Amino acid sequence: MARAISKTGSLTALGAMSGTSLDGVDAAVVVTDGHRIEGFGPTFYRPYEPSEQQVLARALGQWRGQAVDAATDVVEQAHLAALEDFEDVDLVGFHGQTLAHAPRTQGTLQVGDGAWLATALDLPVVWDFRSADVELGGEGAPLAPFFHFACAHYIGASAPLAFLNLGGVGNLTYVDPSFSRPEMAGALLAFDTGPANAPINDLLRARLDLPYDKDGRIARQGRVEQGALELFLAEPYFARMPPKSLDRNDFSEMIALVSELKDADAAATLTGMSAAGVLEGLRHCPSPPVQMLVTGGGRRNPVLMEMLSVALDCPVKPVEEVGLDGDMLEAQAFAYLAVRVARGLPTSCPGTTGVRAAVGGGTVSYPAVAQQVAH
């Protein structure tokens, strides 16, 4: 049977993340006491099969029903496959798959039963990270900023910097490492910048049956349509003060804005929109960051990275340049957050999600008596 979670010392935590790009499950190990990062361990990636991606895509934006049930099964089985071969782990941080996110109206929905996974893995599982934040008036996202704060200290940063995650949606974390704790006022500011890879991927799937714009090749052949870009930036979201968050499909009309454009021009314009959202977001930061560290799949799109580098006044570089893993940073974040939840530490605060006070989200589930359950 799984051991109880120690309340002192460092823990070896296994985190799992399945993002809005619907590409697969990332799994990564972090050794931490819930404050400092003491080391990183093995990682693993389990891609979704095309048929699984279709099941997940059909459930996006839905809150209940057969499509959600089918997606839940895919998510649980994929996570079990991704996590079951890790050894010497104390606990698991399981984010699940976000299908719908409307914190101001309906709440937030991440499918996947952490209690079932705990019994299947015979390990304690921390899950349902977002609900408590939403219930206390927060956006429920982004949740990686507390981990970004720890990363800034891990790499020895001494001046304010920004972490930019370019997944399906873009989100930015402004970190001031002069503070000792992430929940202190002024230590963190975080928010979603706008769409990132999701609309580009959706466009290429629909038009060219391609999963994404590999190396930005299609966008590089086109030009940005300024009229569409201006309409995009007129969206009220960009004028809203952070913290603020988005659902994957909140900007689905972006596809309509480029519907009359040729493939290359449409891809270039959507890429330009992603970069422009980041530029707009930086206007909200207390001071200019000295560097922007980019994580997520978007850092592999040289066209998007060049657009950011040209537009911003600070160096823009992938997190690998400071010794971090841009493919696994979000999975590592949920490993780190799992330890914080288990230790009763906050995982979000007013500066990251707009929640009324620092709060520790998450539910801890322990294995049932049976070693394995069918689901």
Give me the pLDDT at residue 20, please: 76
- CA distances 240 to 194, 196, 280, 281, Å, are 12, 18, 11, 10
Q: How far apart are alpha carbons 220 and 213 in whole angstroms? A: 10
In whole angstroms, how large is the CA radius of gyration of the chain? 20
Residue with tokens 């606990």: 91
Give me the pLDDT at residue 369, please: 62
pLDDT at 1 over 60: no
From first CA to last CA, the distance across the chain in angstroms is 20
pLDDT at 346 over 90: yes
Q: Which two tokens stand for residue 89?
A: 């782990």
Give me the pLDDT at residue 251, please: 82
Give tens-digit pLDDT for 271-310: 999 999 999 999 999 999 999 999 988 999 999 999 999 9
Return the axis-axis angle of helices 66-83 and 50-59, rounded to nearest 10°. 140
Question: Average pLDDT of 33-38?
Answer: 98
Q: Is the dihedral of CA 220, 221, 226, 229 positive or negative?
A: negative
Q: Residue 312's pLDDT band (boundaries 50, 70, 90)?
A: very high
pLDDT at 89 over 60: yes
What's the CATH number for 11-139+361-365? 3.30.420.40
Q: Is the dihedral of CA 149, 155, 156, 161 positive or negative?
A: negative
Q: Where are the domains of the chain?
A: 11-139+361-365, 156-322
Look at phi and psi of residue 22 and say left if phi exceeds 0, alpha if psi is from -120 to 50, else beta.
Answer: left
> Minimum mean pLDDT among 151-155, 160-164, 296-300: which range?
296-300
Q: Are 141 and 192 in contact (CB under 8 A)?
A: yes
pLDDT at 8 over 90: no
232: helix, strand or coil = helix
> Do 11-139+361-365 and 156-322 have matching folds?
yes
Q: What value does the mean pLDDT of the chain take?
A: 93
Q: Which two tokens stand for residue 117?
A: 């996974």
Q: Residue 229's pLDDT band (boundaries 50, 70, 90)?
A: very high
Give me the pLDDT at residue 372, please: 39
pLDDT at 215 over 50: yes
CATH topology of domain 156-322: Nucleotidyltransferase; domain 5 (3.30.420)
pTM for the predicted model, two decimal places = 0.92
Give me the pLDDT at residue 253, please: 80
pLDDT at 118 over 90: yes
Question: Average pLDDT of 157-181?
Answer: 95
pLDDT at 109 over 80: yes
